[in-house]
Structure 1
């Protein structure tokens, strides 16, 4: 995020004296630049200029040589002559210093007691090496102005002999260290605000302050010269391939300037170092610091090359197969054919050597070194999409890439290059070479046909025509009347606003500059007759019913890894056909689930592993079945997709039915205490089956169960669930999980689960609303019946026969006992059912209940061969 020091901002726009960082934040937020934080001053306390009066060298027993210095720090800070911890003949302070790169007469930066340096490192008078050190003479690193810790800052070398203030002067203001800095948040469409120039422009929009555009040629000490024939040769060789989705060449402007004879030891001026530090950058060397400073000031990224290491011509091209580059961060990178490169030609043909990733980061081979005296400056304009893709592909979010991918002013390159040349000549002693290169194929922004009434229509504020015109001109647009009259206008956006491409963008600018506070808050009316659909209500009813049975609803990510082996799915199981994501959130979960149990069992496992032994969870969510679906080609972004393209995209969307699933493990009923408390019981297959039936009965559907065989369930304890009366429609499974599955997933033994195709269940639900029958006030009649059947007959079929035999008088039918023994004979079992009978309009007689019992035995005998147990 950009950092905004007030003193730097005031060089571009008139900022009233006394303005604070908080006031600046309030002014900028009105035009859409939000405050991120206010960074406090890096140094606080009395930091002053001092003049060294004397230096006494002393070598101590540890072998270290120190200097005891008497330093004049101004009359308001000096000890009087003959006073203080160690008396002297003149007013001064005594300070112990271990550096030796200064001499008597030099002006230095002194931190007096009470100063707090970065760290934080508080300064106080202390006894050391036999002297009282009443402060500290500071190096650049100690002040946070760079990494140089070897020597003291000598102000004559930094500012020149004529620029050094008198002893006692405030060094905080001199070095820019005592200033608060505002950090702001810039939206992606406002890339020009990644510079002092851009922020100053917005401050002027917000407050009406006078803006001085330092990005114009006339604002420079020396106007940028025109291109010359003898310039360093540059060529752009970039053919746009339709498959890349790029709509413009990767580079449409490339300015080169040469500065010769730079002193490689020349230091970066203190004011520039301070501003770089305030902006969150580390000072490196004069050449690099100048390019960074100009980028922060104007918004145009620059790159400096060691001219002696280059071979003409420089060629801008795409990467070739197998090419590699070691970037400035000393990382070797494998290049992609879409990467735009800066290359030169050292004998192996044009563009044979890779110098850097265009707009992202330079290479180590031609970087400016400690011995560089001749520099080639590059100021170019690169395609935002190309830079953005390269930066993300190589995970290099450089400061240059941040600006290029948001759009850089196409008229700024020559101005920025000239500004850098001027600084290198002034502070590095270099000479500007008359050769100037400017390869320019940029195009002016296209005019936008705009009706001023659109602002009122879209925003809801009555903006006058003159006000709309004034705002558009204020932000830099050129406005002319359309050929058809005054109804519409032709608005040409400024070169620094590539985000303005349509009438809606212009309306947004009008609303932003006029003030968001003018837009009234209007609560949209709620349309009558709207609410949850029938399906939405049914899903909520299902979730509520499962929760009432003691299950907890969870929401798991639909992304899974190689879970199907753990679930024991056969190789030909259709659930193994998965859809792989192009850009998954996690590398170990790149697929979309084909079953809710793919992710729900992992949720249960995680709960168990964290100490929750008794688990009862359920989920309602989508699964993905991509079989027989082919991916469709992605449409371009230039306009709305056509009807045919939308149809192809719709056809490429895989089937995503909604399922309901649950997992139960551990104790279903906990152990009780006390003389009448019953022992608890674990969850079993019947609980899973009952939960599945709860889902169906909630929406008025009856499920029939029959023996099923499907992993991950136990082959002998798995129920296949079908809609009653539609035997061919299998809607789910319930039962106990296979022991191998529970072991692989580290779940408790005999964990049970169910999964239903909820969409299929809801499709079988009755169209009419479920009618609630009135509760009968007549007494209940009870009958128990035990039926003997072949042991291979499923209990569910016997239960269905009993329910049909009991008829309308049956309020509840429940299987309460299963018995097999020698008394019944081999291959037989006894099923005992409890019948609860009630009539809505009378008390049942003994004859009526006996008749129901006889009918149950008769129907069960006809259906499943059951006989009454004697």
Structure 2
């Protein structure tokens, strides 16, 4: 994101003298440039210029030689007495005694001294301390210690860094001198506003926000030296893109300028270094720094070539099969047929040698070196889509690519090239070559017809015609009356060259609202139309989630990606439908390339992670989509880009989308009831999982039949139940997990789980609203039954017989005891049920209760062969 150095911004727009980063951020936020971060001053405290008065080398026992120095740091900071130094050796004006281990400076040099109380970058606080037999009363700093470079081998000598000794005085504030006290604002720029990746663009937005006077330094008329017109002897450039991709030619403008006789040893001036580094860009060499400086200033990416390493003509073309390029980052890259290249003819044929990836990064073969004296400057305009795809294909998000892919002003290349030429002449001692190349095939922006009432209708704010026109002209648009015959309220709006995003009326409306102020838009809640709300499925899903949470389970959300190891851990057979998965083309993790076909494959991993971190008592559930592809179904077709797909393409895409039913699943491990003074608690088991599954079915309104299931992994073959809908569809399973699954996942023994097809349950439950039944005011009658049945008889079958025999007076029937032993006989069990009876219109008599009892006993005997236990 762009970083803004305030004094640099002030060259484009009038700023208050006391403007803070917070105030600048507030002004930019008003026009849609959000504050990302404010970087505080790099250095605080007394950092001053010092002159070395004496330097005494002192060898140490460890083999190291240190320098004991007396440094003049100005009258305000000098000491007239220095501990360990004879008063006669202290200069009349005073000095500071400093120990320094570097040796690249000498007596008389002007250096930067951090005095006690200074805090350097990284929170490094300076204090007087005794070292090597002296009291070092400060520190002589290197560029790395000051945070303005990586050089840590020696001291920063100011005169060697480009500062004029005549402008330096001992005691002078080095914080201001080096720009280390500046706050830097970092802003967030939306993709449609690429012009704000420059000081020119940010200054324009500050002027829109505050009304400050803005001087557009991107206009040729505002340059000290206007760019000259193209000449016949300009460096030859050709664009060979006869079959453009995406319907756009890759390059529609290419400006070349030549500067000769540059001093290769000329340093980048300190003010430019400070601004570049404050803007987040490291300095390299004068020629490269100048191109980067102009890019940040105006928003036009540029490139500097060593003129001796380039042969005319330059040809801009697409890559040919098999071509490769070593870019400036020393990476060897295989080129793609869509890559737009800058080439020359040095290898013997026209366009035979690749110089760089257009708009992204140059190549190593023609880069500016420490011996370069003649420079070819390139300022071009490239197709945003081509640059964006090349940058992503090669994973090169360069500063140039960031700007080109968002849209660069096509009128800037000549202006930006002239600025580079002027700076290289001024700072490098070069001479501008009169030859100028400018291949220009740009087209003016297309006008947009705008109904001036549209901003009011879309925003709710009353904007009159004059306001709309004035605001659009303020951002650089040309507004004229619409063509004859158009609506009276329509105007013709031609966007400025730096706003390629303004291509439709809605974009112009956004500009009107943005400049006039988002805060003017009223906050009005829309009226909710009657008869709308949550669908039946949405209400059912919320009811299920709420009920499971009330039952003690915690809702979680797991990533829907699985691998072969996850499916193997569940013990799924090779022909199991859950092994038919959809493979992702670009998975987040190589070991999980598939979309899950069931919830437990990912939910069990959530439970395992919690258990492994010391939380054995887990009760979690998840509601989510699973993917069930049909074997043999072709993959979705690759749809065209830039045009609307045909109806046939869209139909093929829809047909290839796999079924994605919504499931609900839960996992329970450890204790369902914790131990305490009240007792030993209770472990979660298959019955808890089955109860949770029944609860889900009840909340959806679906009627399910519960029966034992002995062959479905990952459940235990003897402690698993299948829940079946009336049409015979198995809606899911619940029960204890298989011991091998528990062992493979590292879960506590007897862990339980359930998984149901929530969509099928909701569909089976219907969409009829639940009607509340009448509540009887008459007392209930209670009866208990204990039946002896075979071990193989399910308790659910016995309960169904009890319900059938009790008739309409039954209010509830619950199993409260299961008993096996010698008293009931081998192969038998006793099931005890509590039955509650109630009538809606009367108090039940003894005869009513007796009739129900006889009916229950008879039904149980007939249906399941139950015998009433005495």
TM-score by length of 1: 0.88
Partner of 1:555: 557
What residue number does 2:515 align with?
A: 513
Q: Partner residue of 2:222?
A: 219
Pairwise CA distance, 1:854: 4.3
Question: Would the aligned equivalents of 2:703 and 2:765 in 1 still touch at CA under 8 Å?
Answer: no
Kindly indicate whether residue 609 of structure 2 is the aligned counterpart of residue 609 of structure 1.
no
**Aligned with 1:741: secondary structure?**
helix
Counterpart of 1:164 (choices 167, 185, 195) is 167
Q: Shift of residue 47 of structure 1?
A: 4.8
- Note closer, same or farther for the CA distance 1:333–1:715 as it changes in structure 2 (3 Å cut): farther
Q: Distance in 1 between matches of 2:494 and 2:86?
A: 71
The 5 A counterparts of 1:245-256 are 246-256=246-256
1:733 aligns with: 733
Number of the residue aligned with 1:695: 696
- Pairing 1:838–2:841 present: no
Task: Identify the residue that residue 624 of structure 1 maps to in structure 2.
Answer: 627
CA distance in 1, matches of 2:257, 2:284: 21
Alignment partner, residue 297 of structure 1: 297
Q: Which residue of 2 aligns with 1:403?
A: 403
CA distance in 1 between partners of 2:81 and 2:712 (Å): 99
**For residues 139-191 of structure 1, what are the alpha-carbon distances to aligned partners after superposition, in whole Å with 9 as ceiling and x for unaligned?**
54454443445566565566586973566655544443333332222222221
Aligned-pair distance for 1:267? 1.0
Question: 1:237-269, CA deviations, whole angstroms, 9 ceiling, x for partnerless residues?
Answer: 457687xxx452333333333333322221111
3-state DSSP of counterpart to 1:218: helix
Q: Following superposition of structure 1 onto structure 2, how do residues 119-134 of structure 1 map, counting pairs within 5 Å?
A: 119-121=122-124
The answer as to whether partners of 2:785 and 2:868 remain within 8 angstroms in 1 is no
Cα 1:543–1:374 change in 2 (3 A) is: same
Of the candidates 493, 498, 501, which is equivalent to residue 499 of structure 1?
A: 501
2:466 aligned partner: 466
SS in 1 for 2:811: strand
Residue 770 of structure 2 is matched in structure 1 by 769
Determine the structure 1 residue equivalent to 2:363. Answer: 363
Instruction: Provide the C-alpha distance between the structure 2 equivalents of 1:458 and 1:439, rounded to a whole number of angstroms.
Output: 42
Change (3 A) 1:715 1:354: farther
Partner of 2:447: 447
Secondary structure, counterpart of 2:567 in structure 1: coil
CA 867–236 in structure 1, closer or farther in 2 if over 3 Å, else same: farther
User: What does 1:362-761 align with in structure 2 at a 5 Å threshold?
Assistant: 362-484=362-484, 487-562=489-564, 563-627=566-630, 632-633=636-637, 650-671=654-675, 673=677, 677=679, 680-708=681-709, 709-723=711-725, 726-761=726-761
Determine helix, strand or coil for the equivalent of 1:564: helix
Query: What residue number does 1:201 align with?
Result: 204
Over 3 Å counting, the alpha-carbon distance change for 1:352 and 1:836 in structure 2 is same
CA deviation after TM superposition for structure 1 residue 755, in Å: 1.6
Change (3 A) 1:200 1:680: closer
Distance 1:842 1:458, change over 3 A: closer
What SS does structure 1 have at the residue aligned with 2:569? coil
- Residue 79 to residue 526, structure 1, CA distance change in 2 (3 Å): same
- Match of 1:27, SS state, is helix
Question: In the TM superposition, what is the alpha-carbon distance from 1:737 to its structure 2 partner?
Answer: 1.6
| Residue number in structure 2 paired with 1:786 | 787
Instruction: Quote the offset at 1:7 in angstroms.
Output: 1.6
TM-score when scaled to structure 2? 0.88
Q: Which stretch shifts more, 165-174 or 396-405?
A: 165-174
The worse-fitting range, judged by mean Cα deviation, of 330-339 and 435-444 is: 330-339
> Is the Cα–Cα contact under 8 Å of residues 144 and 277 in structure 1 kept in the other structure?
no
Query: Equivalent residue of 1:182, what SS?
Result: strand
Deviations 1:395-437, CA, capped at 9 Å, x for gaps? 4333222222222111111221221122222222223334433
Instruction: Report deviation, 1:502.
Output: 0.9
**3-state SS of the aligned residue for 1:754?**
strand
Aligned residues: 859
Q: Distance in 2 between matches of 1:511 and 1:466?
A: 14
CA shift for structure 1 position 673: 4.1
Are the structure 2 counterparts of residues 22 and 652 from structure 1 closer, same or farther at C-alpha, using a change threshold of 3 Å? same
What does residue 271 of structure 2 align with?
271
Q: Secondary structure at the match of 2:807?
A: helix
The alpha carbon displacement at 1:14 in A equals 1.9
Root mean square deviation of aligned Cα: 3.8
Counterpart-to-counterpart distance in 2, 1:307 and 1:487: 56
**C-alpha displacement at 1:475, in angstroms?**
1.0
Whether the aligned pair in 2 keeps the contact of 1:57 and 1:65 (CA below 8 Å) is no
8 A contact 2:582–2:629 mirrored in 1 = yes
Q: Tell me by how many angstroms 1:783 deviates.
A: 4.0
Q: Identify unmatched segments of 5+ residues in structure 2.
A: none
Distance 1:533 1:543 in 2: 16
Tell me which moved more, 56-65 or 31-40: 56-65
Quote the Cα distance in structure 1 between the aligned partners of 2:322 and 2:823: 82
> Contact conserved, 2:257 with 2:421, CA < 8 A, in 1?
yes
* 8 A contact 2:330–2:364 mirrored in 1: yes
Deviations 1:69-98 (A, max 9, x none): 777666666678999955567646466666
For the 8 Å contact 2:788–2:824, the answer to whether it is kept is no
1:180 to 183, 191, 206: 183
Q: For the residues of structure 1 that align with 2:30 and 2:579, how far apart are their CA atoms?
A: 54
Tell me by how many angstroms 1:736 deviates. Answer: 1.8
Structure 1: 5+ residue stretches without partners: none
Are the structure 2 counterparts of residues 46 and 738 from structure 1 closer, same or farther at C-alpha, using a change threshold of 3 Å?
Answer: closer
Task: Note if contact 1:731-1:757 (Cα within 8 Å) is conserved in structure 2.
Answer: yes
